[in-house]
Chain A
């Protein structure tokens, strides 16, 4: 039983293209996240979303946009891809936002390569 799943696992595309990464969690969690992990393995928050609030890291370019059709899904859309977008993107979810209940469960990651 996959708790947090992402598709695709690998994504290779050309500069300037638009692409999406899908994320689904079957844990019944209220909060979902997108992280970017660069070549130096630094895990940086991009977005956090629950059914009430979207929190955006202000350093994320507006070419990136999260879309949540329902509580179990948080997809990531990227417009006009650039070379610097190459990284591993992790989706995560947590039950709540305080205490140990906000322990995050991560998806397997999507390795994006922009050529």
Chain B
């Protein structure tokens, strides 16, 4: 069974640009969550989608947005990039998104903003 796939693995963007990251969940999983990992901050929750609907949102500015497609694949978009957006972006999929069901993480997309 294929794991969670995130593309691209690495990305370099310039301040002010926008970027779209993609996440393909494990087959059959309907919940996709996104996290940002920066040095010293741990993993911070961005948002969670289930059946194409955003169910939860973290404390990030509106420049961070996402969506989920009918096949459960999800994309995350960051507009007007800032240097502080440089981070590892991780997505996690689970069958239902319920707290007691295991979430499987992808390898992440390393975004560098210069």
A, B: real partners: no
Residues of B within 8 A of A (CB): none
Question: B-contacting residues of A (Cβ < 8 Å)?
Answer: none
